[in-house]
Amino acid sequence: RTGAESPGCLCFALCQNPAAASQGLAAHTLNPAPERSSERSPELQLRGAGPGRGSRVSSRSAGLSSQARAKTNSWGSERPRGPKSTPAPAPIQGACPPTMRKIRANAIAILTVAWILGTFYYLWQDNRAHAASSGGRGGQKVGGRPEQLREDRTIPLIVTGTPSKGFDEKAYLSAKQLKAGEDPYRQHAFNQLESDKLSPDRPIRDTRHYSCPSVSYSLDLPATSVIITFHNEARSTLLRTVKSVLNRTPANLIQEIILVDDFSSDPEDCLLLTRIPKVKCLRNDRREGLIRSRVRGADVATAAILTFLDSHCEVNTEWLQPMLQRVKEDHTRVVSPIIDVISLDNFAYLAASADLRGGFDWSLHFKWEQIPLEQKMTRTDPTRPIRTPVIAGGIFVIDKSWFNHLGKYDAQMDIWGGENFELSFRVWMCGGSLEIVPCSRVGHVFRKRHPYNFPEGNALTYIRNTKRTAEVWMDEYKQYYYEARPSAIGKAFGSVATRIEQRKKMNCKSFRWYLENVYPELTVPVKEVLPGIIKQGVNCLESQGQNTAGDFLLGMGICRGSAKNPQPAQAWLFSDHLIQQQGKCLAATSTLMSSPGSPVILQMCNPREGKQKWRRKGSFIQHSVSGLCLETKPAQLVTSKCQADAQAQQWQLLPHT
């Protein structure tokens, strides 16, 4: 381009002489641009400009009229000079006078300040909007689940389709907002005011292990029917549950979302949501409770896979794919996510530990517990599923045909509570398995009380439901349930004949099998008994004095006396996982599973010593730490790998009665 065509020449001229610039502009308008000179001017040669720079400067001077060029040169010559013997430096073309430089500097400063302020404002607004999802960190315990510190990764929304024009989100939410001065905890047992402030589409942190995003899943995963039951749920939490499923799940994996309204006060809580694509509503004509409502939802579901959710949840990124993958590979698996905590006070989304599984005590009280140490030590891949004795019950995925084959839920149970134990025992004992999938995360609001009423009170309802579970599935071990929950004795629980018959038809395993193979960590209460004998055939376990080194000797000898009146050397006390005699206890010399054949000795009792811990496992006496079994050898007793057909490992414990 010629100098007359270059817009930079006008700025240059304006900075040096506005009048000259106007004349140059007139010349540019009336006259065609002169041809570019092929020679470099002496001025450029003196400055040593390169080809690019020289052509730009020459074009500027060529684009100006002779008058403008003369005035430009005179402006440069008017600057103060030194002695005549010292030549003046050539004027820097393109530089502006001090006034223009000041204006330009001020403009840049103003723009810089505005940019900084705008950035801070944006960050402040973003932090304010997502305070609930970024607060509450610091390793605190919430709802019994310890929080883990994790990298803040706000997950994006997966847009699966355009929202329905028929659903008025603002009107739906505003119709049920709290009145001024109303207790925000009263109706729902969580802070409804904080929930109502949050967007139904709020972003949350990606709380998965950093290895999870690299896990791949089948492209042909089956679609699922999501079943959400509720009774008088807060509209903001219910809508957020639904929208989190739609926003964070690939559209092809959601067949439908079935809302089962368990006779809420306002039918429109459910009905209005059917204006959202894929959302369906079933309404009970009376209060049925979560258990029967879920069965109703499952009956009408059209997908081959069922996903049960509570009505105050928020699903995380790629929450569904890991669970569908496990069920697709084995239809007898029932899988659950890691359940993150949504604070009931400020709705902060808190990451739960990935090292927990479901457990319980003999009163059938659910609890989260650490994965056993031996399992934790063998877990080299943090994305692998975790076997769990029981699931919490609120959130899980199951094959519909398997759900029906197992007998669905026990429909004679009322409202809520205990159904997770009944389902968990049934799955394990009848040929299935339960897993927690670490790469699946779902947040849940854990409340401290029930916001709704139970027909017979929550305590009696829970007793009825757990008692039905104990009577059908716990066999002779139900005595420990009654010992732990004596209030259940004599309470009505209805007929369980059909459930027992169904168990027989499915040829389900015993509860002893469940304890030995699924949940050996649940210790059977051992009452301190009077001295008895530990017998194998015609021989009994006995202490045999001390050797010259002072070591206590242990061996087998012909049984003398009887269980009611044993000889002192053959009288043992099996108590608190110790097999003891007069202050001395059986002890394995090694606690390693990899060390079979290690001798078993007698040593002074120490209840904290792992080498002295034993448990009864059927007719076996198993070391609690190594898992090896007590076995007789010709010259000594040892711990060996447990074998069902090994007669040398079969024992009778006959207490003194």
pLDDT, tens digit (0-9, with 9 covering 90-100), for 351-376 = 999 999 999 999 999 999 999 888 88
Provide the H-helix boundaries in 48-97: 51-63, 66-77
| Whether 440 and 537 share a structural domain | no
Domain boundary among 62, 77, 92: 77
| Whether 414 and 550 share a structural domain | no
Written as six digits, the tokens of 536 are 């194998």
- What's the total number of domains in the chain? 3
22 belongs to a structural domain: yes
| Whether 212 and 321 share a structural domain | yes
Tell me which H or E stretch contains 614. strand 614-617
| Whether 342 and 207 share a structural domain | yes
Written as six digits, the tokens of 229 are 């039951």
Read off the CATH number of the domain in which 557 is found: 2.80.10.50
69 belongs to a structural domain: yes
238 belongs to a structural domain: no
Q: Rg for the chain (alpha carbons), in Å?
A: 40
CB 439 within 8 A of CB 212: yes
289 belongs to a structural domain: no
Dihedral angle over CA of 570, 573, 578, 579, nearest 10? 10
Domain containing 70 equals 3-77
d(CA 628, CA 613) in angstroms, rounded, equals: 12
pLDDT for the residue numbered 71: 42
pLDDT for the residue numbered 626: 84
Q: What percent of the chain has pLDDT over 70?
A: 75
| Whether 221 and 317 share a structural domain | yes
333 belongs to a structural domain: yes
Within 8 A by CB and 6+ apart from 273, the residues are: 167, 172, 238, 239, 242, 259, 279, 281
Residue 18 clears pLDDT 90, i.e. is over it: no
pTM equals 0.62
| Whether 195 and 342 share a structural domain | yes
pLDDT for the residue numbered 458: 62
329 belongs to a structural domain: yes
Domain boundary among 27, 55, 77: 77
Tell me which H or E stretch contains 402. helix 400-406
CA nearest 224: which of 317, 327, 132? 327
594/379: higher pLDDT: 379
Side chain identity, residue 508: C
| Whether 428 and 571 share a structural domain | no
545 belongs to a structural domain: yes
pLDDT for the residue numbered 454: 57
Read off the CATH number of the domain in which 404 is found: 3.90.550.10
pLDDT for the residue numbered 546: 81
601 belongs to a structural domain: yes
| Whether 200 and 330 share a structural domain | yes
**238-285 tens-digit pLDDT:** 999 999 999 999 999 999 999 999 999 999 999 999 999 999 999 999
pLDDT for the residue numbered 74: 40
CB 514 within 8 A of CB 387: no
Domain boundary among 25, 51, 77: 77
**490-545 tens-digit pLDDT:** 888 999 999 999 999 999 999 999 999 999 999 887 665 556 889 999 999 999 88
